[in-house]
Amino acid sequence: MKISNITICMLLAGLLLGGCNKDYLNTVPKDRLDATKFFNTAKDLEVYTNGFYTQLPDYHLYDASYGESSDDIVPLIAPDRIKGTRIVPVASGSGDWAWSDLRTINYFLTHYQKCPDEAAKLRYGAVARFFRAFFYYDKVRKFGDVPWYNKVLSADDEDLYKARDSRQLVMDSVVADLDFAIANLPAEVKINEITKYTALALKSRVCLFEGTYRKYHGITDFEDLLKASAEASSQLMTESPYKLYTKGGAGSCYRDLFARNDQTTEETILAKDYNPDFGRHTLGYLMTSPTSGSWGMTQDLVNSYLMKDGTKFTDIAGYDKMAFYELMQNRDPRLTQSTAGPDFAVYGTTAPEPVSLNATTTGYRVIKALPGKDQWSSSSSYNDIIIFRLGEVLLNYAEAKAELGTLTQQDLNQSINLLRDRVDMPHLDLSAANAHPDSYLAAMYPHVGNTANKGVILEIRRERRVELFDEGFRWDDLMRWKEGKKLEKPMVGLYFPHLGAYDFTGDGKADVYVYSGDKSGAPSSVTSFIDIKQRPLTSGQSGNMNPFDYQVHFDENKDYLQPIPLEDLKLNKNLDQNPGWEQ
Amino acid sequence: MQFKLYLCSPSSRAVLKKCMRIMKLTAILSLVFAVCSYGSTNAQKISLQLKNSSLKTLFQSIENQSGYHFFYADEDLRHGAPLNIEVHNMELNDVLRTCFKGQPFKYSIVAKTIMVRYDPEDDATAAETAIKTDTTVRGVIKDEQGEPLNGVSIILKGGHEGTTSNNDGSFKINVPSLSDTLEISFVGYQSVTLPIDNRTLHAVSLTAKPSSLEELVIVGYGTQKKENLTTAVSQITAKELDTRPLPNVVSALQGQLPGLNIQTSTGDPGKTPEINVRGFNSINGGGPLILIDGIVGDIDRVNPADIETVTVLKDAASSAIYGARGAFGVVLITTKKGKAGSLAVNYTNNFSETTPTTRTDFISDPYVYGKTVDAALTGYNGTTYTGYNDQDWEIIKKVADGEIDPYYEEQPDGTYKFYGNTNWYDYLFRKWQPGQMHNLSLSGGSEKLHGYLSGRYYKTTSIQNIVDAPLTKYNLKASLTFKANKWLEISDDIQYNNSDQKEYGGYRNGWGGIWSTTTWYNLFPFYPSEINGVPFDFSGGGAQGALEQGNNWKKYFEEQFINTIAAKVTPLKGMELNFNYSNKINHVSNTTRMNTFDIIVGDRLQAENVGVNRLTEDRGRGDYRAMNIFGTYNRDIKDHHFKLMLGYNQENYVSDNITAEQGGLLFDELANLNLGTELLRADGSATVWAVQGYFGRFNYDYKNKYLLEVNARYDGSSRFPSESRWGMFPSVSTGWYVSRERFWQPLKNAISNFKLRGSYGKLGNQNVDLYTFSEIMGLGQSSWLVNGQKINYAGVPAPLPSAVSWEKTKTLDVGVDLGFLQNKITASFDWYEKRTDGMYLPGEPLPAVFGASEPQENIAGLRNRGFELNIGYHDQFSVAGSPLHFNASVSLYNFKGVITKYPNPNGIMSNFWEGQELGQIWGYHIDGQFQSDEEAKAFQDQFENPTKDLGQVYKFIINTAQNKEWKGLKAGDIHYVDLDGDGSIDKGDYTLEDHGDIRPIGNAMPKLPFGFTLSADWKNFDFYMAGTGVVHQDWYPTGDIFWGTYERPYLSFIRKDLITNAWTPENPERTYPQIYRGYTSLGANRSLGEVNDYYLLNVGYLRVKNLTLGYTLPEKLTSRWQIKKLRIYFSGENILTWRFGDLTKYIDPEQAGSAISYNDPSGAVSRARLEDYPIGKTYSVGINLTL
């Protein structure tokens, strides 16, 4: 029995050993951070705010099926908002009605006060408020009135179920956030970080948007916003070291600005950095793939580019029936730096590329921000994406001033005419523009009031569309100008007067053959075929390429704002759907 | 193990001889009797009154009264004298003694047979003569209950003569010498070697093998006699596993155990199939607890040849002893330990060749291919990839027909056209993959110290054809048992195993494996695979270049070391105390080496050096420690049997991982971080958890008839906050052995075994994320770069849950075990219901402005009901004079999961809802295909705004297609039906209230999975077959292999039976739309991409998983070489497959069906894309050698 007593004792001892070790189950995470032990140092604040940067746009900003979807580019698969076929999203938080970014920001703003480092608090608090402004600007842009929250909501918070706040209230808070950011961010030139200049650029953009939106949609109190925009732009233009990028000269600097792999700080205020090691995007593929992208610039945009001498292309008789080679001659140099002209060579090379219309819907290949050919396959591009640049601020400045009615020739000279200088284009003349408002543009933007500045407003819009092509502005511009009906105008491509062979490059040899069903007889030099049975022209055997064979309906009472998801309306009875989207 | 041969043992015979002499001395009678035993059974009273009767008459009278039978040779009775007798209510033994008094016979009673044998005794000469002349040996064979056994095989040892027993159990065999030996064998019984020993009459009682009832079944922390089981447990002894050419044991278990689901979703030998017990258990997913020799283990790491048993604990009562982790079932594996005795050496090997189970003859004719893809793309946007004209196609056709050799040619503009003929599938993939396996084991030692030593080497090759990419595995196991003294036994078990797999790939921008877009797209047969010796890749992805250069690879290396030290103390009779402590160390070392390589790309034959020069190293170490202390005490008080087990368990796990990445390595050939010039990444992670539990089990039975078992475990887990950390998990089960009741006896002949079982218990599931109860901030590296470097960030913590605790699963199980015809046929049936409550899920939906997933709570419920049926049949027949032993088993089961509680008040169908049947597929109804363009147009025109009204199903055809000719519905397109008649074809609000035109059309869960095994041996041949299958399972096809050009026109591999089944005016009854409809299956809102009943397929199948044929060389031959046993065998895996539905031969039904995961109900209707390693069938040969 002695033996068994011993073993029983051992057994019991073992049990007690295990049982007494109360901490056995109190495991502490080894690789994660407990929030209660954070927000104490400047480094903590910096590391937390680092997480905000992914809230900024990525390459989709330049993607004609996402951020850039507008009347400028016809991609192979046109997005719903262009076609007017948006539907009310169902799932809670879908259709841009997502709020997790705000929670991330407000969580910071709730906790960072405990850090004893006052300077760090101001600085990173400013970063957080920049991002909150960015967040709410986006929401207001898309939905109009939205609920304003400056705290982290708990699951039992009644404010989860509150009604929307007015866009005026929200925008006041956005401007307050931006002013805080401008006041407390360092005046530094940092291309991938938020600085005072980024905040100024955002304020310039936000206030112009909201100011013009209110003006054209009949909402009061727009003047202060336009003034604030012009002031922010002016401050940036005068106080910051940014200059337009002119390296390489008028013939290539504009294309190079976007197509080069790495952004530099001459003009670019904030860019998303891509590189082969850590992050590539797929823009090159989307622009060129015959099956996924094959974007094409629309004819009315091509028409909007001025002649090299500053005259209007649309004033030339027969401009609308001009063949490719001819219409590409003597234009604003930005045209052939944005779309493939007769001498098109792939970025980084000099040998002209054979004409290929397989990779474009309209006949006008998009080449702005298109990097070298090694970056054309899926997910292989790594040219940086510009999010803020001085060029936009100059345009914002001129437009805000013009809309306020306070624009001077001097204002033009320090803004738009700098952009013109870069590409060796003649200056925009205030009085000349106002003396003869362009009829082509006037028809395009019927809501521009018959004020003294009508002519220059139209020219500023031309400049904006040309300069900021494919940078994600066009949709918002149409919305704030209340020109949604512009989308109903035909989005067509290149004009072909007849079937047969065409020389696109001016070398006397045919490059393109347009036929109906039977392509025999095509010259051997042809590199691109178009069967009008499959890729129709607007008037049968002649006319513009018509890839977007679709009659858009833009509902003035509905389509300026996006719908809120059905589930969210069900979950919060105080939330109303935007007008026209109720079912 | 024990068999009872009811003959007199030598010692008792000596006693009897002495008795006889005494009797002779009395000179009254020369009666001899021998009663060996077992007397209590013959306490029957006999009354007789016979005068001058023959022995035969006597025997008949006794037989009539007693139910005993006499067995004798008729000619022997000549020697008997007539007798007169009168007895009243006399014991049978006494009657017999009286009757045989004075007769020259011996008699013995064996299992209700009274065997009477002529024994002249003194007449030695006569006896000699008799022996010489009478070479016929007779006998009778009965079971332990005295029932005669029919069909028992009796063979003369060393000879070929043999016979089988008759209905009454009797047999007769001629033997050359009465000193020979007989071998008696019968299925389900222990075989007996019977020395004839100069006797011509024998009575033999066979003892049933423990396999039927006495068999020990492994249960949690102990064993249990199968007959005493009251819970749902299935077990196999893994005899058939060790010679199958499999990288791990999991595949071999498929179809073997009812309720155990094994899903093979890939043919990659480095991947382990998924294991599940009894279907859905929790929305949060989770698989069974797998314990190898009592500690948590990885089933794929075990050497199949080391496995002794595999046991599945299925109901709550059997797995309750594992408390918090047993909710998903428990799989217990025991491995072999050494046995005392002389050294036994076993060697097994296997050489195999593996080939896909599916067709792989994709279109490789460049003309057919080119025309097909061009048609598909033209229908979409009016362009072609190739830009080739009719003349070009003429040339390609000639090349395809072999009229001219492949070539390529420069065009005036400096570009090239290609007239090649490349079979890209054959270029990239092997037809046959060789493999081999060797296994050696040694066992032996003394009672005091014995051990087991084994090792395995397994090697196979990847299906990739260009560079050899091997998978090798080593297993080593050593086990030593030391019996220190009477009451202490100490043992130690060491296992080491590793797995080393290499994979090659490559892509211009980084990694691309052979199953990715780098090979699946853009390999057109009219492109050459190389130009001037440099790999050519028109589209420039570069996979071929990387493979040919072999410098882009991944290496997965894992090794594991396990040591378990155990002590067993038996201080008292009936008491056993166990202690064991295990260390398990896992080490993972994965390397990715990417490199630059040369290719020629594009239509200008541009030479490029592409790829990235980078090395990524992942290192991980996991340290698991487990301690178990448990004791068992057995006590029998008369017919009451008690057993009590109590124990304690603790386990903890700590892991630590680091990842580092360097770019710009200075040497292409080497892969070491030291050679890097650019540090790209340095990262780490770690986990830690611990569990602790007290458990106990109490067993009681009365006369082995009424059984009761109670289990309980009190469990704690570090995953929960201290206030809700501990949980109690009790269970109870009972059984009633009906066939042991007296009233059952009349039925015993037909139904030999009948047991009813029932169990109920509660289990926990701790399968929730770690650290959910503290505000943990995620740390990471942002995709936002600052000056080319990633930045580190800390993320917002998830909202804290209001409370976190166990998910609870209650299981009710009722079962019946049956045996028929002396248990030749056995059946076992279980019905169960599992109710999982408190599933840890995001709580009530909150408005999106909340900004995070809803805090998780223990809220949702799930019910899973099912049954399992297992039928076994074992028998033996005489074929050509030799016995054919035969074993067959079939199992069939089913389960169905239903959500019983879920916070989804609006019935949103993108989420779970109450009453939802898991796996249910909702889809549209299709009314065939349009037979003319007019019919199609008329249909489209009847909708007010086709763009919108048909946008959810024909978006691509109506809105997206760029080719004007093909925009809009056409002949051959499928006809969606507006079931709800609301003028649009859509999903409505996608809520239960309004789901538009979709309705339930099938279920993605397998209906009635089944398995079967068949084994037989005859003479030196043995045969084994195992199969599995599913009666019905719905699959809505997805992916490139199924849809070919309908998915993507630039697909490299297009199945032949797709284009031949496309609609044409000549063949209007075809399955697919016209071949011009490229992209229509690519995702949602497209006519072939939306789930509908037209293309829904039954992927049910029956598959012969294994077929083995073996031949053991005759011992006479092998013994010359000192070999105990030498067997050669052929084994085939997956060699036969029947599809129950119309699934194309290009897709494996098992692979298609395994898209859904039983361990994850949220994926219950997910669909496989199947661009993956095809499942292989394997043919192999090998030997088993025993020394």
Q: Which two tokens stand for residue B736?
A: 């009633």
Question: E strands, B798-948, where?
Answer: 807-820, 825-842, 856-879, 882-901, 920-923, 926-929
> First CA to last CA across chain B, in angstroms?
23
Chain A stretch 223-282, residues whose beta carbon is closer than 8 A to a beta carbon of chain B: 272-280
Between B241-255, B850-864, B887-901, the lowest mean confidence (pLDDT) is in B241-255
In angstroms, what CA-CA distances link B272 with B266, B472, B1013? 9, 15, 22
Each residue of A542-560: pLDDT tens digit?
999 998 777 889 999 999 9
| Residue A65 reports pLDDT greater than 90 | no
Closest CB to A153: pick one of B722, B851, B966. Answer: B851
Chain A stretch 377-396, residues whose beta carbon is closer than 8 A to a beta carbon of chain B: 377-380
Between A357-371, B115-129, B376-390, the lowest mean confidence (pLDDT) is in B115-129
Return d(Cα B684, Cα B781) in angstroms, integer: 11
Return d(Cα A193, Cα A305) in angstroms, integer: 34
User: What pLDDT, on a 0 to 100 scale, did the predictor assign at position B125?
Assistant: 42
pLDDT tier for residue A215 given thresholds of 50, 70 and 90 = very high
**Closest-CA residue of chain A to B594:** A277
Mean pLDDT of B149-158: 78
| Residue B339 reports pLDDT greater than 50 | yes
Please name the residues in contact with B1117: beta carbons below 8 A apart, sequence gap of 6 or more. none
Chain B environment of A352 (Cβ under 8 Å)? none
Closest CB to B718: pick one of A27, A56, A536. Answer: A27
Between A302-311, A444-453, B116-125, B333-342, the lowest mean confidence (pLDDT) is in B116-125
Burial of B577 (0-12, 13-18, 19+ CB in 10 A): buried
Nearest to B451 by CA among B478, B424, B485, B427: B478
Question: E strands, B314-362, where?
Answer: 330-335, 341-356
Return d(Cα B420, Cα B530) in angstroms, integer: 10
CB contact under 8 Å between B964 and A358, yes or no, is no
CB contact under 8 Å between A29 and B385, yes or no, is no
Q: Report yes or no: B583 and B563 within 8 Å, Cβ to Cβ.
A: yes
Q: Helices A454-467 and A390-404, interaxial angle, to 10°?
A: 160
Q: Which two tokens stand for residue B846?
A: 């909150």
Closest CB to A18: pick one of B648, B851, B1049. Answer: B648
Return d(Cα B320, Cα B231) in angstroms, integer: 11
Each residue of B470-514: pLDDT tens digit?
999 999 999 999 998 889 999 999 999 999 999 999 988 888 888
Q: Find which of A1, A12, A31 to mutate to test the B interface (most B CBs within 10 Å of its CB).
A: A31
User: What pLDDT, on a 0 to 100 scale, did the predictor assign at position B2?
Assistant: 37
Chain A stretch 476-495, residues whose beta carbon is closer than 8 A to a beta carbon of chain B: none
Place of tokens 């990387």: B546
Mean pLDDT of B286-294: 88
User: What pLDDT, on a 0 to 100 scale, did the predictor assign at position A542?
Assistant: 93
Q: Coil, strand or helix: which one is B527?
A: coil
pLDDT tier for residue B242 given thresholds of 50, 70 and 90 = low
For B429-448, b where at least 16 C-beta lie within 10 A, e where not — what string? Answer: bbeebebbbebbbbbbbeee
Mean pLDDT of A167-192: 97
Q: Which two tokens stand for residue A431?
A: 């009085």
- The proportion of chain B whose per-residue pLDDT surpasses 90, expressed as a percent, equals 50
Q: Find which of A38, A272, A571 to mutate to test the B interface (most B CBs within 10 Å of its CB).
A: A571
Chain A environment of B783 (Cβ under 8 Å)? 54, 278-279
On the CB side of B275, CA atoms within 13 Å amount to 26
A354 interfacial to chain B (CB closer than 8 Å): yes
What DSSP state is assigned to residue B574?
T
Q: Rounded mean pLDDT of chain B? A: 86
pLDDT tier for residue B214 given thresholds of 50, 70 and 90 = low
Please name the residues in contact with B902: beta carbons below 8 A apart, sequence gap of 6 or more. B841, B859, B860, B861, B911, B912, B913, B914, B916
- The proportion of chain A whose per-residue pLDDT surpasses 70, expressed as a percent, equals 96
Listed ranges A421-430, B325-334, B1121-1130; the one with the highest mean pLDDT: A421-430
Chain A environment of B384 (Cβ under 8 Å)? 358
A-B contacts (CB, under 8 Å):
288
Q: Rounded mean pLDDT of chain A? A: 92
| Residue A207 reports pLDDT greater than 70 | yes
Q: Which two tokens stand for residue B200?
A: 């011509």
- The proportion of chain A whose per-residue pLDDT surpasses 90, expressed as a percent, equals 78
Closest CB to A14: pick one of B648, B789, B849. Answer: B648
| Residue B27 reports pLDDT greater than 50 | no
Burial of B1036 (0-12, 13-18, 19+ CB in 10 A): buried
Please name the residues in contact with B487: beta carbons below 8 A apart, sequence gap of 6 or more. A3, A4, B569, B570, B571
Return d(Cα B743, Cα B365) in angstroms, integer: 76
- Please provide the DSSP assignment of B1158-1184 as one string: TT-GGGTT------SPPPEEEEEEEEE
Chain mean position to CA B368: 42
- Nearest-CA distance B660 → chain A (Å): 14
Chain B environment of A99 (Cβ under 8 Å)? 848-851
User: What pLDDT, on a 0 to 100 scale, did the predictor assign at position B1154?
Assistant: 85
User: What pLDDT, on a 0 to 100 scale, did the predictor assign at position B464?
Assistant: 94
CB contact under 8 Å between B793 and A48, yes or no, is yes
What DSSP state is assigned to residue B1122?
T
pTM for the model stands at: 0.79
Return d(Cα B820, Cα A26) in angstroms, integer: 55
0.85 surpassed by complex ipTM: yes
Mean pLDDT of A270-278: 91
pLDDT tier for residue B857 given thresholds of 50, 70 and 90 = confident
Closest CB to A192: pick one of B569, B691, B785. Answer: B785
Each residue of B42-64: pLDDT tens digit?
456 777 777 777 888 888 888 87
Return d(Cα A71, Cα A490) in angstroms, integer: 9
* Residue, of B372 and B26, whose pLDDT is higher: B372
User: What pLDDT, on a 0 to 100 scale, did the predictor assign at position B704?
Assistant: 86
| Residue B209 reports pLDDT greater than 80 | no
Residues forming a β-bridge with A362: none
**Closest-CA residue of chain B to A8:** B577
- Nearest-CA distance B33 → chain A (Å): 48
CB contact under 8 Å between B785 and A24, yes or no, is no
Each residue of B716-735: pLDDT tens digit?
988 888 888 898 999 999 99
Chain A stretch 563-582, residues whose beta carbon is closer than 8 A to a beta carbon of chain B: 565-568, 570-572, 575
- Nearest-CA distance B531 → chain A (Å): 20
Q: In terms of residues, how long is chain A?
A: 583
| Residue B213 reports pLDDT greater than 80 | no
| Residue B29 reports pLDDT greater than 50 | no
Mean pLDDT of A158-166: 96
Closest CB to A354: pick one of B413, B509, B846. Answer: B413
CB contact under 8 Å between B688 and A380, yes or no, is no
Q: Report yes or no: B1000 and B925 within 8 Å, Cβ to Cβ.
A: no
B1077: enclosing H helix or E strand: none
User: What pLDDT, on a 0 to 100 scale, did the predictor assign at position A9?
Assistant: 59
Residues forming a β-bridge with B170: B140
- The proportion of chain B whose per-residue pLDDT surpasses 70, expressed as a percent, equals 93
**Helix-strand-coil split of chain A, %, nearest 5:** 45, 10, 50
Chain B environment of A56 (Cβ under 8 Å)? 784
| Residue B110 reports pLDDT greater than 80 | no
User: What pLDDT, on a 0 to 100 scale, did the predictor assign at position B668?
Assistant: 87
Q: Which two tokens stand for residue B1010?
A: 């089944």
Each residue of B1001-1014: pLDDT tens digit?
999 999 999 999 99
Each residue of A305-363: pLDDT tens digit?
999 999 999 999 999 999 999 999 999 999 999 999 999 999 999 888 889 888 899 99
**Closest-CA residue of chain A to B542:** A377
pLDDT tier for residue A4 given thresholds of 50, 70 and 90 = low
**Closest-CA residue of chain A to B782:** A51
Between B253-257, B521-525, B948-952, the lowest mean confidence (pLDDT) is in B253-257
Q: Find which of A533, A567, A572, A576 to mutate to test the B interface (most B CBs within 10 Å of its CB).
A: A567
Mean pLDDT of A89-107: 94
CB contact under 8 Å between B777 and A25, yes or no, is no
Q: Report yes or no: B135 and B90 within 8 Å, Cβ to Cβ.
A: no
CB contact under 8 Å between A535 and B775, yes or no, is no
| Residue B130 reports pLDDT greater than 70 | no
Between A149-163, A502-516, B257-271, B432-446, the lowest mean confidence (pLDDT) is in B257-271
| Residue B5 reports pLDDT greater than 50 | no
Q: Report yes or no: B643 and B623 within 8 Å, Cβ to Cβ.
A: no
Each residue of B790-846: pLDDT tens digit?
899 999 998 888 777 778 889 999 999 999 987 889 999 999 999 988 888 877 789
Q: In terms of residues, how long is chain B?
A: 1187
